[in-house]
Structure 1
């Protein structure tokens, strides 16, 4: 199987995928260059988030010789699902979400309301907006809940 539990040695690649996707998808929305290109760096994201034991133990990577994407699961919630932009539209996100549903009975997640591309992807996999919204920390942007 191409999906496996993440290991400490994978953290730089996981963080690289996360940082680059955040710059591509969220900088156009928030337009905060100081955060996107200053605070958000691979090493700091590893040290301040991904290296935490309770986070790392819940990450699974798509690895076919190169780590191309990952999913972070918390109970029945997808916390993060990212595919390297160079490998998007190859079915990797689909495999990761199907893995999460099959192995962990994942039934919900949250997505930034303006991230319509992600919401569309989740809709194609049976997730629907519930109408529940909450403010994204430190902004007036909403995140929306999607349930299966």
Structure 2
């Protein structure tokens, strides 16, 4: 089993979008599903092109991805296929990005407690509460700095 992390290529876009939608629906059940379905085109045409996108693959299968806004050191997205969660792929992707950045910042929905706990375990500290303008749900700003 060879696990690789690499930049997203054209043929990876559809698996990335599938993972994003399925993981978003699962992790954010507190937001109505049509919201996520309506965001799919913006994700493909706006958000992904603005970011540096990396996938984690095993045996040519995309298992998850991360999107980095490098100039702002913002982790814009980290999603693992729901069927593959809990197997360490998210930690591997995050460690890959931590090797390249002095610090990382992100926002996560407060109601997504498993993600909040995941980031805390990975050394992220809460910085500021806020409200996501698109959904009206509470979110938490979190940051990690290289020791």
Please report the TM-score for the alignment, with normalisation by the length of structure 1: 0.84
Q: Please tell me whether the aligned partners of residues 103 and 143 of structure 2 are also in contact (alpha carbons under 8 angstroms).
A: no
From 131, 134, 137, the equivalent of 1:141 is 137
Please report the TM-score for the alignment, with normalisation by the length of structure 2: 0.84
Where do 5+ consecutive residues of structure 2 fail to align?
none
Where do 5+ consecutive residues of structure 1 fail to align?
none
The residue aligned with 2:93 is 96
3-state SS of the aligned residue for 2:90?
helix
3-state SS of the aligned residue for 1:72?
strand
1:8 and 2:10 matched: yes
Structural RMSD (CA):
1.8
Q: Please tell me whether the aligned partners of residues 112 and 142 of structure 1 are also in contact (alpha carbons under 8 angstroms).
A: yes
The residue aligned with 2:35 is 35
User: Runs ≥4 in structure 1, deviation > 3 angstroms?
Assistant: none
3-state SS of the aligned residue for 1:2?
strand
Higher strand share: 2
1:79 and 2:79 matched: no
Q: Please tell me whether the aligned partners of residues 71 and 96 of structure 1 are also in contact (alpha carbons under 8 angstroms).
A: yes
Q: Please tell me whether the aligned partners of residues 100 and 106 of structure 1 are also in contact (alpha carbons under 8 angstroms).
A: no
Question: How many residues get paired?
Answer: 139
Shift of residue 143, structure 1, vs aligned partner: 1.3
Higher helix share: 1
The residue aligned with 1:66 is 61
The residue aligned with 1:46 is 44
Shift of residue 49, structure 1, vs aligned partner: 3.7
